[in-house]
Structure 1
Amino acid sequence: MQGTSVTHRVLLAASLAALAACASETTKQGTAAPQVGATGGDSAAVASTATASTATASGGDVAASATPVDSAAATTSPTTTSPTTTTGADSAIKVVPFGIPGRKKVDLSSAASAVRLGLSKEPTWPKGPTPLPGALLPGHRIVAYYGNPHSKKMGVIGEYPEQQMLSMLDRTVAEWRAADPSVQTIPAIHLVAVVAQGAPGPDGGWRRRESPEMIERTYNWAKSRKGLLFVDIQGGHSTLQAELPLLLKYLERPDVHLGIDPEFYMHHAKEGVRPSVKVGQMLASDVNYVIQTLDKLVADKKLPPKILIVHRFRRDMVPDAESIRPTPRVQVVMDMDGWGPPWLKYDSYRDYIVTHPVQFTGFKLFYHNDTKAGDALLTPKEVLQLRPRPLYIQYQ
């Protein structure tokens, strides 16, 4: 990521202030509330949004299983402490985030805290390897629709008929292009190609592999928009070593990229733990295996660099994220995958993405779960105030 001088950051913060429509200068003390992990989609409700100390059921994606998955038992992650103020020259940065009319004071306060930390970290944010020719990041932003066509609960690409969904994607991409014309916006379809299940199945893997026909169908959706396809792995009790090789024939295509989901990766859990009952975990060694596999594929097939999306909404989902090692051939995006009210999404971005820098950042928006308590969905301009600015945006 590009470094930024203190003067530039002050000017940047001032420009945010000029855009303020309903902002209030606030300072939020303390740390983000611990999040309670549960199944995503529509299966878990926000307990309360009255105060910033109330935890929310924050999960990424619902596993589309042949055997229904019950509502998950609560598992609480340790509270992550992160700074909300800066010292020295950075203490002069006054961030006044803007929001749409009706945003709560706590939402604006959390936004200010996240932006302030991001601005303070930008000069030292790891630049990572120099992008190779053909690399999409950081010169592009990807706006993806997520899910699996077999499930209306997993995300937007299964919830709506094909043409309606693609028209929605067109409008969403246009909104992002208008909000930030400084980078080229690319549409994408993000298919969960290995789907965590509520039953072990014949081989005890607790996952279902999507059919080649469905993968080709969603690839054609992406091609129809001159976009990208992401194939995503919810491993269940299988392993990345078992699942990734089966997807390499698709990843040989220059416009197909990969996502991996620690929430539903139960390889490090006790045998027989059902996905979504306990939030799963990947270690940096797991992610680095994927990076090295993709790196070899790119080198062997002379492909442009691949993008790897790693979903995260709790620290313990990738407890040693700083040990992830991107390569020139594999660009890594840590995607803030939690749902809830705006304040919690800002806090999660600050605590689990900005506080643990890897390379590039992403942000996920849930059409239903983010709005359950009556909050309006975050707009592109509200997300773009974050630093670093997310370059991967996903809608479920």
Structure 2
Amino acid sequence: MRHIIRGVGAAVLAVSLAATTVACTSSPEGESVAAAAFEGTRVAADPDATGADAARLLVDSAPIAVVSAPDDAAIARAASVAVGLRAPMLTAEKDAGEAVSEELDRLGVERVLRVGDADVPDGSYEVVDAPAGREELEELTGLEFADEQEPAAARVPETVADLDPGEPALLVVGDVPGPEGAEGEPFSALDAAWTEDDAPRVLVHDETSVASVATAVAAGAAVSHLGAPDPRVDGDSVEAVSGADAVLALGPGWGSEDQLRDRVEKARTVPELPGGGQLLFPGRRFVAAYGSPITPALGILGEQGAEESAARVQRLVDEYQPFSPEPVIPAFEIIATVASTSPGPDGNFTNEWPVEEFVPLVEAITDAGGYAVIDLQPGMADMLDQAKLYEDLLKRPNVGLALDPEWKLEPGQQPGAQIGSVDAEEINRVVHWLADLTRETGGPQKLLILHQFNMSMIANREDIDTSRPELAISLHADGHGTPEMKFETWDVLRSGLPSDIWMAWKNFYDEDTPTFTPEQTMDVEPRPWFVSYQ
């Protein structure tokens, strides 16, 4: 579809959508003819943080632009004005003058509104300095700011994504230098490049430059701020791309356009996790009841029936939710193989209970909108061999796996007589099998928990393969005792841990003195993504 944006002279020419092969032309009547919105997926990584990449992708031409100094206060104010004027925004980052100059020339800008001490290169455009005072700024821009907001600097991208050009707000992060009065002819707001019906979907996140976000909002795009640069991160991101003909991702971290295209397709087709989306983190946190239906001696999960356990963990979730910005999801961590002091018929010092024993628990937590984790205490058995026993359960989209090296034995050892250990090589065999299973079944990302409370429990931990995108690997710190003891264990386990392993925490009702409250648990740094109760 082609659409026409009407204007009166150069001062009100509409910002027009960029397309790779279509230029903006003017009709004899002075109308601006914009290109049709393109389909598919595009990425503007914006490596210099000027916003020029996004402007090239989003805007074909504009008579005015806003250029800010690279400090937080100027950037926030410039974004406020750019959105209100529906004008593209650039940030004059250090050593990026050429990129800014080239983009202003490409846009055909006639007037630049400079915010703060921005180094605006010389060009064929007029440069007007934004005044320091709010009233003078409103006089120069012709805007009436509905209110003032004072977001933290780190929250400005998200705040800008939520701005409404029809009701502009002034974002205040600090003082911005400028002249005392309004100098020059007032600016006039432009028309949006798109209507609500034909606007492309634009994805941004916390690391997207504010200039990029502001340009997208100003142009009339449907902008969604995500918790991570991936359209599968949560239910909102899935909804954002589900019906979009064009998906444009701005900022670093999205990968190539082919990778983004694949992720968008998976967001649209792969079953979602409890809480929405197909990636486990950072879109949610879990609170779990730990134990086995075989006996209450192993944890709280065996102290009542399946439905009662689901209700019990939901009460915990309700206590945690006020302290988590992410949705908190109920979970069960079900001990499926239990280490034994007796070698048993197969001589492996572990009791491997049949799948049927755990189906009621898995179905109960599924009905409660939650997640189940199958926990293995392998004894002398190979961890991969044990994991394969529960393949039917692990094929389910809301069932993950936990490995507990404490109960991994060498010949001649017995459970409880020493702390067990496992090498990263054995863990990696489980990693690849579980990742392959997840890919083959077409499910969402699957959780793999590694239990640890002593560094000796996982040999060559740095060699654990975290590269498989089908899995989210979590290190579960199982330390108990006083708060000082638990924090000491927590800090030791985090030392040298790969950055893409997610931390988990355990609260003990009997062994902790005292048991942490939900608020205390969520105050742990870094805040745990998975909390279990034993």
- 2:145 matched residue in structure 1: none
- Pair 1:140 & 2:284 matched: yes
- Pair 1:174 & 2:318 matched: yes
Q: Is the Cα–Cα contact under 8 Å of residues 334 and 360 in structure 1 kept in the other structure?
A: yes
Q: From 429, 452, 455, give the equivalent of 1:315.
A: 455
Q: From 279, 299, 302, give the equivalent of 2:439.
A: 299
- 1:346 matched residue in structure 2: 487
SS at 1:325 equivalent: coil
SS at 1:153 equivalent: helix
One-letter amino acid of the structure 1 residue matched with residue 387 of structure 2: L
Deviation at 1:320, TM superposition (A): 2.0
Q: From 358, 361, 367, give the equivalent of 2:509.
A: 367
- 2:64 matched residue in structure 1: none
One-letter amino acid of the structure 2 residue matched with residue 317 of structure 1: M
Per the normalisation by structure 1, the TM-score is 0.63
Deviation at 1:162, TM superposition (A): 4.2
State the aligned residue count.
264
Structure 1 unmatched ranges of 5 or more? 1-6, 13-126
One-letter amino acid of the structure 1 residue matched with residue 440 of structure 2: D
- Pair 1:335 & 2:479 matched: no
- Pair 1:356 & 2:494 matched: no
Question: CA 1:279/1:255 → structure 2, altered by over 3 Å: closer, same or farther?
Answer: same
Q: Which one has a bigger Cα radius of gyration?
A: 2
d(CA) in 1 for partners of 2:430 and 2:313?
29
One-letter amino acid of the structure 1 residue matched with residue 310 of structure 2: L
d(CA) in 2 for partners of 1:241 and 1:170?
32
Q: Is the Cα–Cα contact under 8 Å of residues 173 and 186 in structure 1 kept in the other structure?
A: yes
Q: Is the Cα–Cα contact under 8 Å of residues 404 and 450 in structure 2 kept in the other structure?
A: yes
Q: Is the Cα–Cα contact under 8 Å of residues 362 and 393 in structure 1 kept in the other structure?
A: yes
What CA deviation, in whole Å up to 9, does each residue of 1:33-83 have, x standing for no partner?
xxxxxxxxxxxxxxxxxxxxxxxxxxxxxxxxxxxxxxxxxxxxxxxxxxx
- 2:430 matched residue in structure 1: 290
- Pair 1:377 & 2:515 matched: yes
SS at 1:250 equivalent: helix
Deviation at 1:211, TM superposition (A): 2.1
d(CA) in 2 for partners of 1:356 and 1:342?
22
d(CA) in 1 for partners of 2:307 and 2:294?
16
d(CA) in 2 for partners of 1:211 and 1:138?
33
What CA deviation, in whole Å up to 9, does each residue of 1:261-294 have, x standing for no partner?
000011xx2x131111111111111211111011
Deviation at 1:387, TM superposition (A): 2.7
- 1:65 matched residue in structure 2: none
- Pair 1:258 & 2:401 matched: yes
Per the normalisation by structure 2, the TM-score is 0.47
What CA deviation, in whole Å up to 9, does each residue of 1:348-387 have, x standing for no partner?
00011344345100000111111xxxx3311222222233
Q: Is the Cα–Cα contact under 8 Å of residues 298 and 329 in structure 1 kept in the other structure?
A: yes
Q: Percent identity?
A: 28
- 1:61 matched residue in structure 2: none
One-letter amino acid of the structure 2 residue matched with residue 236 of structure 1: G
SS at 1:139 equivalent: coil
Q: Is the Cα–Cα contact under 8 Å of residues 144 and 189 in structure 1 kept in the other structure?
A: yes
Deviation at 1:159, TM superposition (A): 2.4
Instruction: Map residues 191-270 of structure 1 onto 2, 5 A cutoff.
Output: 191-266=334-409, 269=410
- Bigger RCO of structures 1 and 2 (CA < 8 A, at least 6 apart): 1
One-letter amino acid of the structure 2 residue matched with residue 224 of structure 1: D
d(CA) in 2 for partners of 1:222 and 1:162?
8
What CA deviation, in whole Å up to 9, does each residue of 1:210-262 have, x standing for no partner?
12221111112212311111111110011113211111111111011100000
Instruction: Map residues 1-12 of structure 1 onto 2, 5 A cutoff.
Output: none
SS at 2:418 equivalent: coil
d(CA) in 1 for partners of 2:406 and 2:532?
16
Which stretch shifts more, 314-323 or 347-356? 347-356
